[in-house]
Structure 1
Amino acid sequence: MNTPLLVTGGTGTIGSAVVPMLRAADRTVRILSRHPGEDRDGIQHVAGDTVAGRGLAEALNGVEVVLHLAGGAKGDDTAAHNVAAAARRAGVRHLILISVIGADRMPIGYFRAKAAAEQAIAASGVPWTVLRVAQLHEFVLPVVRGLMRLPVLLTPGGLRFEPVHVDEVAARLTELALGSPVGQTPDLAGPEVLTIRELADTYAEALGKRQRAGLPVRIPGATGRAYRAADNLAGESARRGERSWQEFLTDTVPVRS
């Protein structure tokens, strides 16, 4: 029986890549969003809000697997608590959460909310899987663009990213959704660890522009110490994607710039 898989955040950057992969595996997909679309070709849409806790009971009706991909600047911990409680009541058999590498190490509110979300999923009583991933290329790109608009390129010491391609994240999530719960699974990061200088230089090259003069800056306090200690980066046990920052820009910059 092809019971639907529920995907929260199914219309977001990652969710939009996951849903077609689940459909390619011949699975019915139910998407929970605040602004649902129309049902089509094995994809159901239901209205709800994970932070407010609205619509979860209806969305989970008859569902055995949940991919909780919805997220935002605030409220990820609350949303995870709500989804976990509703999944337990609905008898869900597998609850999957996407999180961020360094969630339990970085002294930043966003990371702390992700760590609390992980704890909510693990304590839910529902068999679970948590996948921590690095920043998507789509997240790093506007950061680099913003810095490139300044008169000089600010280069915070110790700030590094290991951006990963959204399709590689989606493929891993699909693999996990079609499998059994595994608890904390190895992190997923991109193939490179890059400084702001390296990210910006590659971006300038993709645009055919000159490299910008740089101004080294120091990130203060606990946040700076954490970045310099590489607390936001994956360890040796992480899986690594293959799509590089340069490859992403080659595919993206001519369209978006």
Structure 2
Amino acid sequence: MSSVLVTGATGTLGRVVVPALAAAGHDVRAMSRVHRRPDGEETWVRADLATGQGLADAVDGVGTVVHLASAPYRRGYTRRVDVAGTARLVAAARAAGVDHVLLMSIVGVDRVPWGFYRTKLEAERQVAEGGAPWTVLRATQFFDFLDTAFAALTRLPVVPLDRRVRAQPVDTADVADLLVELVAAGPARDTVELGGPGVLTGDTALREWMAATGRRRRVLPVRGPGRMLAAFRDGAATTPALPTGTRTWSEFLARRYGRR
């Protein structure tokens, strides 16, 4: 098996991908901006996408780069990491003769008029046009994201919700499984999409979450303004791609909160 560098190894997805790659027999090099001790079979390296410091050493000798790192909703720093940092990483990978750069992106970046999605689309272009063999994996929103969003919303006594917003959330374990397959398959020079096993409305997802957590709130139906929410209502964050993930929202909630 090959040596694989994973950027964003400490993130929500990275914490699942690193052990999945190791379990598949890969020599995993996990990257972070600060020094870390290994807690599994991986080796940790220190590098910074925003400055480029340490990137040449991080990619030296690896066969595949799995690029998960991102810095959403942090204004100028987001572009320094997601766009300029991706360009630096691809350039370093090309110079080192890396066989495959695999970028993690989001379903809908080409259809939803949202600033961060435009940034991710630019990152995709850096990978596709950067001169190294590549694959882009777009996944729908993670269950963890919905969980965090609903926890924040239900701090309010009344929850405003656009019930017609549609999502197809996916479990990070399903994303990790596909990433392992894509590493083994080699560069596709194409974009692959993955969604969860079912499309949910905002209302359905929230009510399942409240039943699982035991939190009760009154829901105030609203129609969210603007082109971005219109795109979400139209299903721009969903995908017809097959196969889908297999783990459901209900199963995720049962694992996390112990209720059925």
With normalisation by structure 2, the TM-score equals: 0.90
When the two chains are superposed, the root-mean-square deviation of aligned CA atoms in Å is: 1.8
1:59-97 residue CA offsets vs partner (Å, 9 max, x unmatched) = 011112110011121231222111111111111111000
Instruction: Please say if 1:149 is aligned against 2:155.
Output: yes
Distance change in 2, residues 1:204/1:122 (3 Å): same
Q: Is 1:230 matched up with 2:235?
A: yes
Are residues 57 and 154 of structure 1, via their aligned partners in 2, closer, same or farther at CA, if it must alter by over 3 Å? same
Q: Secondary structure at the match of 2:103?
A: strand
Q: State the one-letter code of the partner of 2:4.
A: L
| Alignment partner, residue 108 of structure 1 | 114
Instruction: Report percent identity of matched pairs.
Output: 40
Superposed, 1:95-174 pairs within 5 Å as: 95-174=101-180
Letter in 2 for 1:222: R
Match of 2:246 among 242, 246, 254: 242
- Residues 157-166 or 90-99, more deviating: 157-166
Once the 2 structures are TM-superposed, how far is the Cα of residue 157 of structure 1 from its aligned partner?
4.6
Matched-pair contact (CA < 8 Å) for 1:30–1:44: yes
Match of 1:58 in 2: 57
Structure-2 separation of matches of 1:78 and 1:217: 38
Aligned to 1:38: 37
2:214 equivalent to 1:194: no
Offset of residue 238 of structure 1:
4.1
Q: 1:39 to 1:215 in 2, by over 3 A?
A: closer
Deviation at 1:39, TM superposition (A): 4.6
Q: What is the SS of the residue equivalent to 1:79?
A: helix
Runs of 4 or more, structure 1, over 4 Å off, are: 39-42
Deviations 1:10-57 (A, max 9, x none): 121111111112111221111110123125764211111112222100
Q: How is 1:203-214 mapped onto 2 (pairs within 5 angstroms)?
A: 203-210=209-216, 212-214=217-219
CA distance in 1, matches of 2:253, 2:20: 23
1:3–1:62 contact (8 Å) kept in structure 2: no
1: CA distance, partners of 2:155 / 2:41? 44
- Which residue of 1 is the match for residue 220 of structure 2? 215
Whole-angstrom distance in 1 between the partners of 2:249 and 2:30: 30
Tell me the distance in 2 between the aligned counterparts of 1:207 and 1:51.
Answer: 38
Alpha carbons of structure 1 residues 16 and 41: separation in structure 2 relative to 1, 3 Å: closer
Question: Does the 8 Å contact 1:148/1:200 carry over to 2?
Answer: no
Q: 1:2-81 maps to which residues of 2 (within 5 A)?
A: 3-39=2-38, 42-73=41-72, 74-75=78-79, 76-81=82-87
Structure 1: how far apart are the matches of 2:190 and 2:196?
Answer: 19
1:131-177 residue CA offsets vs partner (Å, 9 max, x unmatched): 00011111110111222222222121532221111111001001111
Unaligned runs of 5+ residues in structure 2 are 73-77
Between 1:107-116 and 1:181-190, the stretch displaced more is 181-190
Structure 1 runs not aligned, ≥5 long: none
* Distance in 2 of aligned mates of 1:67 and 1:186: 14
Give the match for residue 75 of structure 2: none
On the 8 A contact 2:167/2:232 being kept in 1, the answer is no
CA distance in 2 between counterparts of 1:140 and 1:41 reads 28
